[in-house]
Chains A and B, each alone.
Chain A
Amino acid sequence: MAALSPAPAPAPVPVAVVAFAQSDHRRATPGTSEAELLLPVLRDVLDQAGLAPGEADFTCSGSSDYLAGRPFSFTLTLDAVGAWPPVAESHVEMDGAWALYEAWVKLLTGEADTALVYAHGTSSAGSLRDVLSRQLDPYYAAPLWPDSVALAALQAQALIDAGDTDEDDLARIAARNRTVARANPHAQLRAAGPHGDYVVRPLRTADCPPVSDGAAAVVLAAGDTARRMHERPAWIRGIDHRVEPHALGVRDLTDSPSTRRAAERAGAYDAPLDLAELHAPFTSQEVVLRKALRLADDVRVNPSGGALAANPVMATGLIRLGEAAARIHRGEARRALAHATSGPCLQHNLVAVLEGDSA
């Protein structure tokens, strides 16, 4: 008996990043509430897209209550959105890159034509190294309070043992990111400093990201709406995210199979790239990502300075997507990769491929 074949699915409408804005990222913003931090960023991004507050069909945000120790802090950010009468809204307790992923899915369903995506992090309110230890497995890891630098240092030593890097190489990565950040007025660290003392050996001060407060936002739009909102939309040609086991001891810390898998599914290896914005909070993690992504020597990596120049946790990944899109908006790149990470030692990775229209 012949099986009935389903009707072919219609080709999904293409979705693009049409606007990106971010705050200046600073060591601390003690005078501002969540809404006060976000308001100018949201106003900027909505103005770029020509949208009024509350006008986007869908709103999605990323943040973590643990950073500032405020339960349901994401609801306070809605004050800055114009959420009455009620808007279609969602939140992920993750980096805003994953909020963008959710918004992308929403636009693919056809239920929304435009989406506002935003993220904020005020890490200065707490002790970030310790706060991040609370995301670990509560049975075997969290009771030991291994802080975020300690776990990254275990990964860095594994890379050194494997011959993938050494301390001089890490120092060069730190210096390069912060030197190029001179051209990024939003960055917090905009000059190469000394490599510094060991924080947790083999990682030194300069190998670690700054603690930053900051916020970022993008507007996504579908098809012709995107073309109306920007003359050079940054089309999302592919986006995917993959996660590895939570137990550090079962992973090969010198590799990132989840990044590679996400990059394959996002189409990153299908054609040459001009540019890559990598979410590598620690210098050693840039080594892992370059290897997993097989980046060619002529690919510009982190012209923004990356997470080593500004690290507003929960917004850092979204900023990678926004920075890559902004280069396409300005005609400085044609095909760019953006990467975001979450969890210890690059546990969970998202890869997007953004493209401008062909000339």
Chain B
Amino acid sequence: MPDHLTAPLVVEFPFTRSLGPVQSAFLTGLRERTVLGVRTHDGRVLVPPVEYDPDTADELRGLVEVGTTGTVTTWAWNPAPRRGQPLGTPFAWVLVRLDGADTALLHALDAPGPEAVHTGLRVRVRWAERRTGAITDIACFEPHDSTTRTQTRPHDGAFVDPVTGITTPARLDYTYTPGRAQTRHLHALARRRTVGERCPACHKVCVPPRGACPTCGVATTDRVEVGPRGTVTTFCVVNIKARGLPIDVPYVYAHIALDGADLALHGRIAGIPCNEVRMGLRVEPVWTDDGPYPDHYRPTGEPDAPYDTYKGML
């Protein structure tokens, strides 16, 4: 086995946001092939629009329609597009000041190569075929010869069936590494042994070990096998079924101090009616054939442990 363990870890979440009046109008406008900006009290037009003036914090509500053509204010050639980016072939990231706007919008520019791109390049919006009310309704920009037009038109921001929220799916891929102490613990667990680590300062045995004594803030040293039997220090009765968890309710979830350990770990208690589980109950692990850790703990039949033997671990 390797001296340190790793495992793939995928974090995936739908980032759901409500929009508010200005962003709702802007994104709904994109769905309708209309680009809106917002006018500040000193007359500048911000595209994409925001609800508050970045300079003065004034509340901004005066929407205007700007052009779908504009000018590149800076660019960067991306030779290797990454997951989720607007185009799958090499493209330029651009900031585009649309005609009528005083600020620039971040997006992608579809161009044959970096030699075709320069600051000052005239471009226009290429609309996505399927539009939902999102910044990606602009598929990208494309080079387009045209003259600058600076007129804007007032717009009431009203559309049929406005978009009021967006969901942005996010996925990030990681490699999880548990560290030295937990790797040692997991290797032992694979042999159905529970191994903790002792603090050189307070001599307590931490299970599962994380490399440091949380009381003393020093590295744990000696490895100590604990259990397999232990004592229930405290418990609760779970009455709500967790989605995807194939365990019937009610069941008992407990803190269990394994013999020789100075920290209690978590485990499910079975083989005894819920209403008979008690503090001090002596238990032992029950393994299933392929389980990486005990499936649950069951009573050993020994007399209950005296309170004084586990009160320090509550």
- A residues sitting closer than 8 Å to B (CB atoms) are 29-36, 39, 42-43, 53-54, 66, 68-70, 76, 78-84, 124-127, 129-131, 134, 138-147, 150-151, 153-158, 161, 198, 200-203, 245, 247-250, 253
Contact = CB atoms under 8 A, between A and B. Distances in A.
Interface stretch (B60-68, B214-222, B253-261): B214-222
Interface string B143-182: 0000000000000000000000010101011111111111
Contacts of B309: none
A84 B215 contact: yes
Interface in B46-99: 46-48, 50, 54, 73-79, 82-86, 93-95, 97
Contacts of B86: 144
B217 A36 contact: no
A255 to B, nearest CB: 13
Contacts of B174: 68-69, 125-126
A139 B176 CA distance: 30
Those 3 A-B pairs whose CB atoms lie nearest each other, nearest first = A82-B217, A33-B179, A53-B217
Contacts of B46: 247, 250
Contacts of B237: none
A78 B214 CA distance: 7
Contact of A153 (B4, B76, B136): B76
Contacts of B73: 158, 249
What interface size band does chain B fall in?
35 or more
B217 A150 contact: no
Interface string B197-222: 00000000000001111111111000
B23 interface: yes
A129 B178 CA distance: 23
A125 B82 contact: no
B172 A134 contact: yes
A116 B268 CA distance: 39
13 contacts: A32-B180, A36-B212, A53-B218, A69-B174, A131-B172, A134-B172, A138-B168, A144-B85, A146-B85, A146-B93, A200-B93, A247-B48, A249-B103
Contacts of A155: 74
Contact of A129 (B82, B93, B114, B213): B82
A39 B6 CA distance: 21
Interface stretch (B9-17, B187-195, B284-292): B9-17
Contacts of B175: 30, 124-126
A129 B82 CA distance: 10
A143 B86 CA distance: 9
Given A34-B179, A140-B48, 13 more contacts: A30-B4, A30-B175, A30-B177, A81-B217, A82-B214, A126-B173, A139-B23, A144-B85, A147-B85, A201-B79, A249-B106, A250-B46, A250-B54
Contact of B75 (A141, A143, A157): A157
Contacts of A154: 74-76, 93-95, 106
Nearest to A144: B86
Given A33-B182, A42-B217, A145-B82, A200 B76 contact: yes
A90 B82 CA distance: 36
A84 B23 contact: no
Contacts of A253: 74
A130 B82 contact: yes
B178 A33 contact: yes
Nearest to A155: B74
Contacts of B177: 29-33, 125
Contacts of B83: 130, 145
A54 B215 CA distance: 9
Contacts of B168: 138, 142-143
A200 B77 contact: yes
B3 interface: yes
B212 A144 contact: no
A247 B108 contact: no
Contacts of A66: 172
Interface string B109-120: 000001000010
B135 interface: yes
A345 B311 CA distance: 54
A94 B214 CA distance: 24
Contacts of A131: 172
A68 B168 CA distance: 21
B110 to A, nearest CB: 14
B135 A248 contact: no
B279 interface: no
Given A79-B211, A130-B82, A248 B176 contact: no
B106 A53 contact: no
A156 B119 CA distance: 12
B210 A130 contact: no
Contacts of B11: 69
Contacts of A141: 106, 135
